[in-house]
Amino acid sequence: MNIVVLDAYAANPGDLSWEKLKEIGEVAIYNRTAAQDVAERAMDAEVILTNKVRIDRELMEALPKLRYVGVLATGYNVVDTEAACEHGIVVANIPAYGTMSVAQMVFAHLMNICNRVAHYSEAVDSGRWSTSQDFCFYDTPLLELAGRTMCIVGLGNIGMAVAKIAQSFGMKTMAVTRKSEEELHCLGIQKANSYEELFAHADVLSLHCPLAKDTMHLVNASRLALMKPSAILINTGRGPLIDEQALADALNSRHLYAAGIDVLSEEPPVSTNPLIGARNCYITPHIAWATKEARGRLIDIAIENIKAFMEGNPRNVVS
């Protein structure tokens, strides 16, 4: 089995091993692959592993030996799955590998906004506490989560993990989801009948739904206008779920208190992205998924997916 990994660096910058992959075939590993180099590097590939390198119809037609594409992520929009079906190419993804890591990042952003730990650590290092007239020093609002309402868009694995953590902080939980009211009641989650109802109730709004035609710019100017000026928005899902200019406007006009963002519509972002430098907007560079533990699971599941395919029982198929 000839296996080509097109963009290995994001999943494994050197702190993990590809040895188990090498045990099941001839493997060529590239840290990064430019679009113009994909066809040449994958010419003899029966299996391609990709994270963000696009595998489109034209490329599939140029790779007659290709039988399988493994996406090193949960989202698989980088692959033309319709063309894959037509060419008999199996496409598989990696579900649920980073559930707890992403949920952890939701609360890392939330804790940063509520408690500003880095800000105060830097203030102490700069001598501001040492020169304070009082035994304590604070110059930002400090917020308690207990009693506030965490509103969640999408109650898959990550959304459910976020709900459970929120409840452990004493937060109320509410969600837009296909799950029934009866099922949610057992979980201590209130069901919202619409996005508009959810946005209006949110003290914290966290996004965990897939990116699709009906969720593109789910967060837009009209829905942001429904939110409390004290509300916080967290996005560890997909960048285009948010109309970034509308969010920047809401933050800069103080209609929204703060945002914690791990994903943007274009990555890496252009310097003119309106969220960069927006008031109370804290951006991390798409790293919620990237703990060593989550990346290790990602690679292990990718290898098990390939083994299952080789045995004639492909799993996690999305094509």
Active site residues: 238, 267, 286
Say how many C-beta atoms besides its own lie within 10 A of residue 271's C-beta. 7
Query: What percent of the chain is helix, strand and coil (3-state, nearest 5)?
Result: 35, 15, 50
Nearest Cα to Cα of residue 169 among 245, 115, 89, 92: 115
Where would I find the beta strands (DSSP E) of 116-261? 149-153, 172-176, 189-191, 204-207, 232-235, 258-261
Give the Å distances, CA to CA, from 14 to 9, 20, 124: 8, 15, 35
Could you write out the three-class secondary structure of 254-298? CCCCEEEECCCCCCCCCCCCCCCCCCCEEECCCCCCCCHHHHHHH
**DSSP label of 210:** P
Polymer length in residues for the chain = 319
Distance CA(122)–CA(151), nearest Å, equals 32
